[in-house]
Every structure is written in structure tokens, then in C-alpha cells.
């Protein structure tokens, strides 16, 4: 389906708060649609400031603390994920009847394609990238957007069948209702505690992904991924243990681990290029999504051995004379390096790091 443009109210004025990659993309979209735009950033030298000045030399820009008056003079504020949505100036704007949204809400107004929405504390980028890889292999026109580094609003106007959205808790704070075809939280561990008062607030932000969803995927190894108010029509679970009849998990047969649906083995874990229990969990989540999308599991399984992983994240590169080479240069601390090495460890395998 093609993403249509939302032209209603095009004579109104928008304030774009945050001048990074997302803010630049939002300004570009709004200007193309004919809106009057102002821009602001609490930083004195935001990363995309010069690009914005060069492309729109007459665009009003305010740097430093955002004046309340600027927030009152517009009908809508689009806040970038890096800015807290509960800042006093945004609270004041809401009290004056000004709509405060994020870039994803702006995208959703134009999106008519089904959405697979993914969030979580760890591994979500790998999962959405894997889902995009599978969907394209199966012949679908799929776009992988959002927190993975591609502002969703840049896809408006292109034609495709499926949107695969990676969403951070910051983005989810500003989405009234996502209404995804499939929504899932991959896992929950403490993160961004400098932004949230406690784990309860962080968890509540993640839970917003389920609002209006048709179906959900649940990690049965992590109770925090279960929707607190699930109203969807279907639920599929995955986990690293032996699965129940309709769940995805792992079976051990003759000392070898298999990806499985219930009691049915699907493929040996060894066929995967991406290694480690965290990546196996990602694969099982992808299989659960595939089943909900009514994709052929046989065809999906056939894709998995070719998926190399994200660049620099224990990424399979090549096999040369029987030796597999992996790029794990994103392991910039001891813990992540150990996780990568342990993920590759197998009986009889020698590793040169």
C-alpha cells in the first residue's frame, strides 16, 4: 500500500523540537506538505543545525530553553525522541490546547500499510532487521523504520506492503494509539533510568506499544513483556525452553538443539549464522511474527541460514577454508565481548579473537 500524505490543516503552524536526524526529516516532510514551520532545540549547537540553515535559510530557529510563547503560537509540536516529552514548556503547551506529538504519530497519520511493531531493552534492532530480511526474501515490499536509524516520516510517499517499526520507549511516550497489526516487547531490563523515575514508568512506556494492536507476541521467559490489558484477537509465545503445543521454543534431540513449534522441530540451531542465546531468542520471536503474518514457515526457515546479522554485532562475514569470520567490533566493553565469544563457543570449536 502507498503511504498517503496528510494535508488537512496545511495552513497551520508546526513547531519541530529537536534538530537531529529525526527533526531534520520532520521539517523536510512538513515543508513539502506546505506547513508553516518553526524549529527549536535546547542545545546551542544541535547536530543538524547547519544542514537546516542551508536548506531553509528563512526558517525561524530558537536555540536554548524553548520559550513558552513559541509553544503557544503553534497548533502542534512535534517532539524528537531525545527530548523529554514532559518538559515544562510542553506541559504548558498542552494546557493551552496545543497538540504535542512525536514523529511516529505524524507518520501514522499517513500510513495505511500493516505495521509490525517491536520494542524491548535489548536486541530489537536485530529483530526488526531480520524481519525485514525475511519479508523481502518472501517477495514483500517491506520498510524497516524507526529507532533503528531511519526516521519513519522519510518513507511517506513510497509504496510497500509492510512496515516494520522499531520503537523506543521515548517514541512510545508520544503515540496515543499505535494500532499495529502485530506488537511485541522482546524483553525488559533496566534502561534509561536517567529519564524515568523507576522501572514501573519505563515498563509503562514500553507497554504503550500494545494499544489498539490486533495481535501480540509474548516472550514467555519475561513476564514484563505480557500486555497488562490485552484485547487482541491472537497471541503467540516464544521462549528458549521447550515450547507448549502452539508456542515457539527449543527442543533437544540427540544432543542437538532445534528451533521448534510445539513438538515439531523446524531446523537445527547450528544452521544460524548469528550465534548466542539472545540471537536464538530473536529468531524464535521472528518465527512467531511470521506465523501471525501467515507466512510460510518452511520458506521462513529456508531464509534463516542466510541472515548475517546487523553490521558489527557479531556479524557473520564469510567462511574461508572452513573457518567462519565474524565482525564483533561493536563490542566496545568487556561484557559485550564476552557475550559474543560465549555465543560462538561450541564443543570442538577453536576461536581466535
Q: Whole-angstrom Cα distance, residue 21 to residue 149?
A: 9
Catalytic annotation present for 192: yes
The 3-state secondary structure of the chain reads: CECCCCCCCCCCEEEEECCCHHHHHHHHHHHHCCCEEEEEECCCCCCCHHHHHHHCCCCCEEECCCCHHHHHCCCEEEECCCCCCCCHHHHHHHHCCCEEEEHHHHHHHHCCCCEEEEECCCCHHHHHHHHHHHHHHCCCCEEEEECCCECHHHHCCCECCEEEEECCHHHHCCCCCCCCCEEEECCCCCCCCCCCCCHHHHHHHHHHHHCCCCEEEEECCCHHHCCCCCCCCEEEEECCCCCCCCCEEEEEECCEEEEEECCEEEEEHHHCCCCCHHHHHHHHHHHHHHHHCCCCHHHHHHHHHHCCCCCCCCEEEEEECCEEEEECCCCCCHHHHHHHHHHHCCCCCCCCC
Out of 14, 38, 124, 181, the active site residue is 124
Catalytic annotation present for 327: no
| 156: its cell numbers | 511517506
Out of 55, 192, 299, 312, the active site residue is 192
Catalytic annotation present for 68: no
Out of 38, 147, 187, 282, the active site residue is 147
Q: Whole-angstrom Cα distance, residue 273 to residue 98?
A: 49
User: Looking at the annotation, which residues are catalytic?
Assistant: 124, 147, 192
Amino acid at each position: 500500500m502507498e503511504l498517503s500524505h496528510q494535508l488537512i490543516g496545511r495552513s497551520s503552524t508546526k513547531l519541530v523540537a529537536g534538530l537531529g536526524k529525526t527533526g531534520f526529516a520532520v521539517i523536510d516532510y512538513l515543508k513539502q506538505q506546505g506547513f508553516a514551520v518553526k524549529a527549536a532545540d535546547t542545545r546551542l549547537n544541535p547536530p543538524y543545525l547547519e544542514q537546516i540553515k542551508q536548506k531553509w535559510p528563512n526558517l525561524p530557529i530558537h536555540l536554548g530553553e524553548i520559550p513558552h510563547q513559541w509553544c503557544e503560537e503553534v497548533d502542534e509540536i512535534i517532539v524528537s525522541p531525545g527530548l523529554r516529552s514532559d518538559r515544562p514548556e510542553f506541559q504548558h503547551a498542552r494546557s493551552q490546547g496545543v497538540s504535542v506529538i512525536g514523529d511516529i504519530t505524524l507518520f501514522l497519520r499517513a500510513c495505511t500499510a500493516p505495521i509490525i511493531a517491536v520494542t524491548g531493552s535489548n536486541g530489537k534492532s536485530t529483530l526488526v532487521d531480520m524481519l525485514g530480511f525475511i519479508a523481502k526474501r518472501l517477495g514483500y515490499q517491506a520498510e524497516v523504520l524507526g529507532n533503528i536509524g531511519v526516521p519513519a516520516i522519510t518513507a511517506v510517499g513510497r509504496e510497500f506492503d509492510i512496515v516494520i517499526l522499531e520503537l523506543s520507549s521515548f517514541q512510545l511516550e508520544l503515540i496515543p494509539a499505535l494500532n499495529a497489526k502485530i506488537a511485541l516487547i522482546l524483553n525488559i531490563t533496566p534502561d534509561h533510568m536517567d529519564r524515568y523515575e523507576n522501572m514501573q514508568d519505563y515498563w509503562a512506556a514500553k507497554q504503550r506499544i500494545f494499544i489498539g494492536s490486533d495481535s501480540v507476541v509474548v516472550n514467555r521467559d519475561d513476564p514484563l513483556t505480557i500486555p497488562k490489558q490485552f484485547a487482541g484477537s491472537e497471541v503467540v509465545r516464544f521462549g528458549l525452553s521447550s515450547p507448549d503445543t502452539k508456542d515457539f521454543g527449543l527442543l533437544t534431540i540427540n544432543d542437538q538443539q532445534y528451533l521448534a513449534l510445539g513438538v515439531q522441530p523446524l531446523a537445527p540451531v547450528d544452521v544460524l549464522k548469528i550465534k548466542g542465546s539472545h540471537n536464538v531468542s530473536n529468531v524464535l520471536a521472528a518465527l512467531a511474527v511470521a506465523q501471525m503474518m501467515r507466512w510460510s514457515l518452511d520458506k521462513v526457515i529456508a531464509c534463516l541460514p542466510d541472515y548475517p546479522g546487523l553490521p558489527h554485532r557479531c556479524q557473520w562475514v564469510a567462511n574461508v577454508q572452513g573457518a567462519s569470520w565474524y565482525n564483533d567490533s561493536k563490542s566496545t566493553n568487556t561484557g559485550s565481548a564476552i557475550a559474543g565469544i560465549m555465543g560462538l563457543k561450541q564443543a570442538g570449536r577453536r576461536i581466535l579473537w
